[in-house]
């Protein structure tokens, strides 16, 4: 897996000088990487200022990763040449294999048999490949101007769908969330989620694993691996194909054979300590909360707001078992209430939810956060932020980040508003504070942190 995700040399077989071809887009994306790059095209001497080689066998020195951007039929002989060359990993971006019917399945079997028994591993086929921002590895065949990439971060994303992974990356970039890596699994003919989960469990840059799966390569093995990994790192999975209609769609997409019982999947993931997401936004929301905060130790939540209405909405979401997270509103100690009474206006509420009113200031938020974080009856804090009051400034971002780093109870932020509010939320993200544009998404994140804490306590 190191040759796939930290290669010292990459060959692109099917590199093209034609900007309309996928082989050109991939080469352009790879050209900014910090590794040796070898375009392979027998009809060109150079592309983008890089010397071209007629075949992979003509490349001097070793090749860690070879990316095949070719028609499906042409991939089998090129994979054979990669095996002869001693390439460590071959990533086949082409579709037209097992997901396309009987003929494609036979072609995929030939591709797998080509690498079987050798020291060469296969990623895909039907994969976007890998994106690792720390070294500039980007095998995606999507132009960066059409889909901006995120900065380096702490979430590793594994996806059986290329489109889901690209959308995840674009949304992360827009939200100010960084990723350590993103890998498209494709048809998982060889390398699957189990290989990569094991790799990222030992990757110090990765704090949380987020997976989109349509099927399990080996479900029993996945549960065994995840049980071990979740001792030290959180794992969140969006498993689709939950219904008969979804399972049929998965077969035509990646050739996946989904399990017949979603209840079995649900129970197995819970047993392994995996947090389950149910849509693409939920996957990202939960992953970033787990990456930044890892867990909360219980289910007692304190809501701090400067608008009474938002505090009431948050209280409903915190405690509702059906339309909420099913957590508890923390009961503040008398000592905390007395401390709050000395800080907030006399007409403000010092019970939970704490209502700071429109007279709130940055300094008031700072003092209140310190008080409720120190309360032994508080496990997590939901900070409902309103930027409109006259005495609130962007200094509040630094205050919340400092409190999140040093305080006992993790902080999750929500702020509902327009473009200015969205910009401030990105600033929170850049400081490692999970921030959300709606109250429900912030409370849902606290629910996932509580679930993680519950699992770890149960494991002890």
Q: Tell me: the pLDDT tens digits for 248-273?
A: 665 555 555 555 578 899 999 999 99
Give the range of the structural domain holding residue 248, as residue numbers without chain letter: 147-294
Q: Domain check: are 302 and 360 in the same one?
A: yes
pLDDT given for residue 241 in this prediction = 77
Residues 202 and 84 in one domain: no
C-alpha dist (Å) from residue 445 to 211, 256, 383, 388, 398: 17, 30, 12, 24, 21
Listed residues 93, 125, 157: the one ending a domain: 125
Task: Respond yes or no on whether the N-terminal peptide bond of residue 381 is cis (omega within 30° of 0).
Answer: no
Check whether residue 302 and residue 446 sit in a common domain: yes
Q: 225 and 314, same structural domain?
A: no
If asked whether residues 336 and 272 sit together in one domain, one would say no
pLDDT in tens, 72-82: 999 999 999 99
Provide the angle, in degrees to the nearest 10, between the axes of the packed helices 308-319 and 439-459.
40
Question: What is the reported pLDDT for 394?
Answer: 87
- Has residue 350 been placed in a domain? yes
Residues 54 and 20 in one domain: yes
Residues 278 and 329 in one domain: no
Which CATH number do you get for residue 118?
3.40.50.720
Q: How far apart are CA 283 and CA 168, in angstroms?
A: 9
Domain boundary among 232, 264, 294: 294
What is the CA angle 151-153-157, rounded to 5? 100
**CATH code for the domain in which residue 453 is found:** 3.40.50.261
Q: Is the peptide bond before 330 cis (omega within 30 degrees of 0)?
A: no
Q: Which parts of the chain register pLDDT below 70?
A: 243-260
Same domain, 226 and 246: yes
Number of domains composing the chain: 3
One-letter-per-residue 3-state SS of 95-137: CCCHHHCHHHHHHHHHHHHHHCCCCCEEECCCCCCEEECCCCE
Pair 104, 15 in one domain: yes
Residues 203 and 175 in one domain: yes
pLDDT of residue 389: 84
Look at residues 277, 294, 311 and tell me which one is the last residue of a structural domain: 294
Give the strands of the sheet with 9-13, arranged side by side: 36-40, 9-13, 65-68, 89-92, 121-123
pLDDT on residue 374: 96
């Amino acid at each position: 897996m190191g040759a796939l995700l930290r290669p010292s040399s990459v060959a692109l077989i099917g590199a093209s000088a034609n900007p309309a071809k996928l082989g050109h887009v991939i080469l352009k994306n790879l050209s900014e990487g910090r590794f040796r790059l070898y375009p392979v095209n027998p009809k060109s001497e150079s592309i983008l200022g890089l010397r071209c080689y007629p075949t992979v066998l003509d490349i001097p020195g070793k090749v860690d990763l070879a990316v095949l951007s070719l028609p499906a039929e042409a991939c089998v002989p090129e994979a054979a040449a990669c095996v002869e060359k001693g390439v460590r990993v071959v990533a086949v971006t082409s579709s037209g294999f097992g997901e396309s019917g009987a003929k494609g399945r036979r072609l995929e079997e030939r591709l797998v048999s080509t690498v079987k028994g050798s020291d060469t591993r296969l990623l895909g086929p039907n994969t976007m490949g890998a994106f690792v921002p720390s070294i500039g590895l980007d095998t995606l065949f999507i132009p960066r101007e059409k889909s901006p990439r995120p900065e380096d971060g702490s979430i590793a994303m594994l996806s059986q769908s290329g489109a889901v992974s690209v959308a995840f990356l674009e949304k992360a970039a827009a939200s100010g969330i960084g990723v350590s890596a993103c890998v498209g699994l494709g048809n998982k003919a060889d390398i699957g989620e189990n290989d990569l989960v094991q790799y990222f469990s030992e990757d110090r840059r990765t704090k949380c694993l987020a997976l989109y799966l349509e099927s399990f390569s080996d479900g029993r093995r996945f549960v065994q691996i995840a049980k071990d990994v979740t001792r030290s790192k959180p794992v969140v999975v969006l498993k689709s194909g939950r219904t008969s209609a979804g399972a049929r769609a998965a077969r035509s997409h990646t050739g996946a054979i989904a399990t017949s019982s979603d209840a079995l999947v649900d129970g197995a993931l819970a047993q392994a300590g995996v947090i389950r997401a149910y849509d693409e936004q939920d996957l990202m929301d939960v992953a970033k909360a787990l990456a930044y905060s890892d867990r909360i130790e219980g289910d007692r939540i304190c809501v701090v707001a400067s608008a009474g209405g938002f505090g009431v909405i948050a209280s409903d979401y915190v405690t509702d078992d059906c339309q909420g997270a099913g957590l508890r509103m923390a009961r503040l100690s008398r000592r905390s209430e007395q401390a709050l009474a000395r800080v907030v206006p006399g007409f403000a509420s010092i019970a939970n939810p704490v209502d700071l009113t429109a007279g709130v200031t940055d300094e008031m938020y700072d003092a209140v956060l310190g008080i409720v974080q120190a309360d032994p009856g508080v496990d997590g804090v939901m900070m409902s932020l309103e930027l409109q009051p006259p005495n609130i400034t962007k200094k509040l971002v630094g205050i919340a980040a400092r409190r999140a780093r040093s305080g006992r109870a993790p902080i999750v932020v929500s702020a509902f508003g327009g473009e200015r509010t969205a910009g401030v939320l990105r600033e929170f993200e850049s400081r490692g504070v999970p921030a959300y544009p709606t109250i429900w998404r912030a409370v849902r994140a606290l629910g996932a942190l509580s679930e993680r804490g519950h699992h770890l306590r149960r494991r002890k």
